[in-house]
Amino acid sequence: MSKKGKVLLAMSGGVDSSAVALILKDSGYEVIGFTIKTWDYQSVNKKSESSCCDIEAINDARLLATRIGISHYVIDLTDLFKKEVIDNFIFSYLDGRTPNPCVVCNKKIKWEGLIQKANDLDCEYIATGHYSKISLLNDRYFVSKGLDENKEQSYVLWSLTQEHLKRTMFPLADYKKDDIKTIIAEAGFEKISKKRESYDVCFIPDDNYHNFLMENVPDLKERYANGNIVDKTGKVLGQHKGFPFYTIGQRKGLEIALGKPVYISNIDSVKNEITIGDKEDLLQDWVIVENVNLQKYEKVSNDIKSVVKIRYKDKGCLAELTELDNNRIKINFSTPVSALTSGQSAVFYEGNDLLGGGIITNQQN
C-alpha cells in the first residue's frame, strides 16, 4: 500500500474527476477509480448530448484509469438511484414541491455507496471532483468554499454527515477550472479536457422535466389539469395545465392576461390550485426548514451571523437561525427574500464555512 494511503475515487469520466485521478496518483496515493451507473443510458433521448452517467462517460473513465495505471470498477446502482433519487424527484413534484435531486444523490448514492465500497476495498479515504474544501475544527468536520468561486459547489454538499466528511478528500479545493483543463490536456487527455459541464439533472439530459414527468406518470394530465389559478383573495382567474408543471416565482407560461406581470406565489397540491400575485407577494422574511443536517457545529446559537442561500446561484442573505423540535430550524432573514420554494435547500454559512442546511417547507409553525 502507498505510504500516503489508499483512496477510492468517484470517476464520472469528466474533466474534474479525471484531474483528481492524476493529482492523487502523482501525490503518491494508491488510487482506485469507481464509476457509478445510475440510470439506463439506452433509454435517454438519442438527440441529447452525452451526460455524466452514460456509456461514453464510463468508457472515458475506464480508459483514463487504464492509461495512468490505476484500478477501475463500475457498479450498477440503477435500482437504488430510481428509488432514492428519481422517485423522490417525481413524488416531490406531485406534492407541490420543487426538488433538488443532486443533494439527495450526493448523500444517498455517492457518499453512502462510495464509503461502503471503500470499506470493502480497505480504502481509508474517498475522493470526488468537487471544488470545495474539507475543514476541521473542535473535532467537527465541515465543508468550506473552494478557491474557484465560479465552480463553488458547497451548496449541494450540506447533507453530508460527520461520518461522510471525515473520510472525504476534495483535491480540487485550491485549483481553478482552467488550471484543471490544462492538467488534463497536458497529460494527453485532450478529448476529456474539452468536455462540457455535466447537467444539473443527469437523468433528464434534454432538461425537459415536463416530458419526464409525463413519461413516468402517464395519467398526470388527467389527474391534475384544469385546476384553478386564483389570486390572493381566492378569485378564480383561469385554469392551469397541472400544478406539477409549475414552480414558485414562475412568470411565463401562465396563459393569463391581466395587463401586468404576475408570478406564482403558492402551489396547493391538495386543492390542485395555483395562486398568483405581484412580485412583492413572493417576498418572505422567514421560513422553516426540515431534515436539518449541521456540519461545523453540533448546535447553532442565535448569536451566529449566518448567510443563508436559498438556491444554488443565490448570493445569500444575512439571517438568524433558531433551532426548533423535530430536526427543524426557523430562519429569520434580515431583509425579505423572494420565491422561497418548498423542496429546495436552504444552506447556512459562516464566512466561507458551511454550517449546515435543510429542506425548505411551507410550514407555518
Among 179, 191, 169, residue whose Cα is nearest residue 64? 191
Report pLDDT digits (tens) over 295-304: 999 998 877 8
Catalytic residue of the set 53, 102, 123, 202:
202
Catalytic residue of the set 102, 105, 123, 317:
105
Residues 128/10, Cβ–Cβ less than 8 Å:
yes
Q: Is 202 a catalytic residue?
A: yes
**Of 10-19, 179-188, 251-260, 261-270, which gets the smallest average pLDDT?**
251-260
Q: What is the mean pLDDT of residues 12-19?
A: 94
Q: Domain 220-277 is classified in which CATH homologous superfamily?
A: Adenine nucleotide alpha hydrolases-like domains (2.30.30.280)
Q: Which three cell numbers stand for residue 120?
A: 470493502
Distance of CA 43 to the CA centre of its chain: 23
Helix (H) or strand (E) holding 15: helix 15-26
Report pLDDT digits (tens) over 32-56: 999 998 876 655 444 444 456 678 8
Domain range annotation of the chain: 6-129+171-193, 220-277, 281-360
Q: Domain 6-129+171-193 is classified in which CATH homologous superfamily?
A: HUPs (3.40.50.620)
Q: State the residue for C-alpha cell 476495498.
A: 121
Report pLDDT digits (tens) over 128-183: 999 999 999 999 999 999 999 999 899 999 999 999 999 999 999 999 999 999 99
Q: What is the mean pLDDT of residues 226-230?
A: 95
Among 14, 92, 76, residue whose Cα is nearest residue 39? 76
Res 205: pLDDT: 75
CATH of 281-360, one of 1.10.1200.10, 2.60.120.10, 3.40.309.10, 2.40.30.10: 2.40.30.10
Q: What is the mean pLDDT of residues 84-112?
A: 94
Distance of CA 352 to the CA centre of its chain: 19
